[in-house]
Structure 1
Amino acid sequence: MLHRFRTVLIVLCTLALVACGDGIVKRVSEPAASLQQLTVQANGDWTVALRLQNYSSMPMSFDDVALTLTIGDTEAGHLSAKPGISIGGVSADVINVNFKPSPAARLVIADALASNRTLAYSLKGTVSATPQEKKQRTFDINSRSTLNQAPGLPGVLR
């Protein structure tokens, strides 16, 4: 009888705990930013396809991007955008940012395109995002990667 009472008590406690939560863990993780594509326009300005990655388990609204772009060892300038987009949990989206690079960075890109070589870049700054049903947070971004010339697309690095 005592054994049966314990078993029933354990089952009831387990059911009560399961009923308390919906089973979904809502976790906020730092987002990431990277260049998906860089296109050199006819006037020398760039269009940057900036990939914003949401690693959180819930949707986040990306409100503000303030990043310094460095190409090779040359500071290209500051990427600023107010995307105003919501990105689902563990998903990504791309925004296009028109950008006026520094003259030195224009030369670095022109040289890389002319010699068809890989080019390192870094992004450093902040991304402000608002997790679903929470308040806005600012996340530090410090990423590095490389770009290569896109075959058959003059002036495009990916």
Structure 2
Amino acid sequence: MHIQSLNPLPIAMAGRSSHRSAVLRVLLLILVALLLAACSSGPVKRVFPPNASVQELRLQADGHWELQLRIQNFSTVAMRFERLELDIELGGHAAGRIETTVADTVPPSSAENIVLQLMPSTEAAEALRSALETRRGVGYRISGSLGSSEPKNRNDSFEFSSALTPMPGLDGVLR
């Protein structure tokens, strides 16, 4: 007679072990199913207000300003901008207002430049001429709103202040 067959303990433990592994398999399947369900909705879409700043100001021969306006999209989805309203001050003087259609899509967490034309006020034009002649920077402030159609119809306000500096070797250009 074998001693193993008389000892019921290993058989009882073997039954518990197979029951535990079956429970663990079921729990593992449930965990995998939950993880897959969580991933099925895709990445989180977060929409944040955009911002704008002047990338470059170029004085034209006829006195107009050509502005390269940088539109920044901080959202995790692309935004389609349709409308821009912009007030600009240069050297503490109101330079003018621009209201225009944009019709540009900015990728997520990215920026795009748009080109705008402005005939500035006399005071702001003089502040620009003085900055160019003395080769010194000049402060500017922009404020306004950007209207977007995607991912939602929104109208976000923005405000930005900084300075523009004449670029060496590029007559009439400030960045």
TM-score between both structures, scaled by the size of structure 2: 0.82
Distance 1:153 1:14, change over 3 A: same
State the 1:131 CA deviation.
2.9
Between 75-84 and 99-108, report the one with greater CA deviation. 75-84
Distance in 2 between the 1:141 and 1:150 partners? Answer: 27
Aligned residue number for residue 34 of structure 1: 53
Larger radius of gyration: 2
> In the TM superposition, what are the counterparts of 1:3-18 in structure 2 within 5 Å?
5=23, 8-9=26-27, 11-18=29-36
TM-score between both structures, scaled by the size of structure 1: 0.90
Instruction: Identify unmatched segments of 5+ residues in structure 1.
Output: none
Instruction: Identify unmatched segments of 5+ residues in structure 2.
Output: 1-18
2:160 to 143, 147, 150: 143
Runs of 4+ in 1 over 3 A off after TM superposition: 1-4
The amino acid that maps onto 1:149 is P
State the identity %: 33
> In the TM superposition, what are the counterparts of 1:86-125 in structure 2 within 5 Å?
86-125=105-144
- 1:56 has 2:75 as partner: yes
**Counterpart secondary structure, 1:101:** coil
State the 1:33 CA deviation.
0.2
**Counterpart secondary structure, 1:48:** strand
Aligned residue number for residue 15 of structure 2: none
Distance in 1 between the 2:92 and 2:85 partners? Answer: 19
Distance 1:112 1:5, change over 3 A: same
Distance in 1 between the 2:143 and 2:21 partners? Answer: 62
State the 1:17 CA deviation.
4.2
